[in-house]
Amino acid sequence: MKLQSLETFAIAPPPPGWGGRYWLIVRITTDSGITGLGEVYAAGVGHGAMQAVIEDVFARHMEGETPENIELMSRRAWSSGFTQRPDPTVFGAFAGLEMACWDILGKMRDRPVWALLGGRMNAGLRAYTYLYPADGAPDAEVRRFWIDADAQAEAAAARLAEGWTAVKFDPAGPYTIRGGHAPAASDISRSALFCERIRGAVGDRADLLFGTHGQFTPGHAIRLARALEPHDPLWFEEPIPPDDIAGLAEVARATSIPVATGERLCGKMEFAAVLRAGVRIVQPALGRAGGIWEGRKIALVAETHGAQIAPHMYAGPVEWAANVHLGVACPNLLMVEAIETPFHEALVSGRPRVEGGFVEAPSAPGLGIELNDAVAAAHAYAGDRLHLEMQEAPCDWKNGNAFAGGAAD
C-alpha cells in the first residue's frame, strides 16, 4: 500500500471562532482507496502558502511511500534542506500528514491508533476546558467576561457542575510581538483575584490552570507566580517566551507552581531542553510538534524527567482525536485540552466526546473520525489573516489589559 494523493482544507469555524480563525485539515488517499485525516496547527504564514508547504512536503517526502514508514518520512522532513533542527513550518506540515498515516494504519489493521502505540493505559482521559462566556451573550457582556473575576468564577462553577475537574483561564493581559514584558500592576492583582474567586467557586473539586502565552520576562513572571501561589494552581503555563530556556529554569526554580509549556515547541529536542530546565508538564500541540509518533517520543522523554504530558489543543477536531489516541497510550498523561462546540461536532463524524469531564478511549479503527465534506465546503476560509495573531501594541499600563480567550475577530 502506497500514499497516493492529498487534499487540503482550510476551514473557518463560525464566530466566535473557538479554536482559531481557521483549521488546516489534510486527507491522504492510498492506492488501495483507504483515506486518513490529519491536522496542521503550525500556521506562521497565510493559509494558501501553508497549503503549498503541505503539498510540497507530501510530494517530496511521502508520496509513493508506505504509510508504515513513519520514522523514515519524519527523518526526511526533519532533515529537509540540510536543517535537522526545529522548523515549525516544515515539521508542522509533516505533523498533519503524519496523523493521516496513523489513521490509515489503524484502518488497515482494523484497530484504533492507540492500539498501535503500545496499547491502552487509560480507559478514560481527564479533560480540561478554558472558561468561555455563555453562548449568545451580548457583546458587552462578552467583553466584560475576560476581566470579570466573578463572571469567570460563575462559569467555573457551571463547568464543575457538568463534571469538569480542571479549568483554564488567562487574565494576565494580551500576548504581544514584543516578547517578554513587565505586566501592569493591575494585571497581577486581577490575576490573583481570578484565582481567589475561581478557587472559591470550585474549592478542591477542580484544579486551576493558569495560562499566560509566554508574555513576561523571567523576573516579572516570578512576581506574578508569587501572587498566584496562595491559591495553588495546578500549573503556570508558558510564563516566558518559548526560546528562553535559561529564563524558564529561573522561573521553575523560583515558584512552587509546576511550570507547563509546549504549545509553540517543535520536536523532541526542544521538549528535552525545557524538561532539563525544570518544566514538569509538557503540552505538545501535535500539529506543530511533529505528529503522533513525535508526541509519543516527547511523552517518553518527559517520563524520564518525572514529568507529565497534557496535549495542547487550540485547533479543530482532527488534532483533538490525535491527542486522545496519544493520551490513551501514555502512562504519564495528566489530562487533555478540549474544545466542545457544535461546529467541532459537526465537522467530523465519530469525534471523541467529553462527558462528565472525561473522554473514553475510542474503539473505532484509525482515529475513528471522518470529515463531513459538505460542512467543510460550506465553511471554507477565504480571508488573508493567520490562524492566530499577536498584538503589536504594547502592554497598556494605564488603562488595563484583557485577553479575549483567543476568539477570532
CB contact at 8 A, 221 and 248:
no
Maximum pairwise Cα distance, the chain: 63
Q: Where are the domains of the chain?
A: 3-112, 115-366
Multiple choice CATH, 115-366, 3.20.20.120, 3.40.640.10, 3.40.1160.10, 3.20.20.80: 3.20.20.120
Q: Is the pLDDT of residue 346 over 90?
A: yes
Decide whether 3-112 matches 115-366 in CATH topology. no
User: What was the pLDDT predicted at 408?
Assistant: 64
Q: Calculate mean pLDDT across residues 370-395.
A: 94
Q: Which CATH class is domain 3-112?
A: alpha beta
CA angle 169, 338, 10 (to 5 degrees): 105
| Beta-sheet pairing, 358-360 with 124-130 | antiparallel
| Beta-sheet pairing, 35-40 with 308-309 | unpaired
| Beta-sheet pairing, 308-309 with 281-282 | parallel
User: What was the pLDDT predicted at 269?
Assistant: 98
pLDDT higher at 166 or 43:
166
CB contact at 8 A, 314 and 274:
no
Q: Which of 57, 112, 54 is nearest to 81 (CA)?
A: 57
pLDDT higher at 16 or 344:
344
User: What was the pLDDT predicted at 179?
Assistant: 83
**Which pLDDT tens digit goes with each residue over 72-117?**
999 999 999 999 999 999 999 999 999 999 999 999 999 999 999 9
Burial class of residue 280, CB neighbours in 10 A (0-12, 13-18, 19+): middle
User: What was the pLDDT predicted at 93?
Assistant: 98
**Which pLDDT tens digit goes with each residue over 165-208?**
999 999 998 888 888 999 999 999 999 999 999 999 999 999 99
Compute the distance between CA of residue 191 and CA of residue 208 in angstroms, rounded to an integer.
Answer: 12
**Which pLDDT tens digit goes with each residue over 256-270?**
999 999 999 999 999
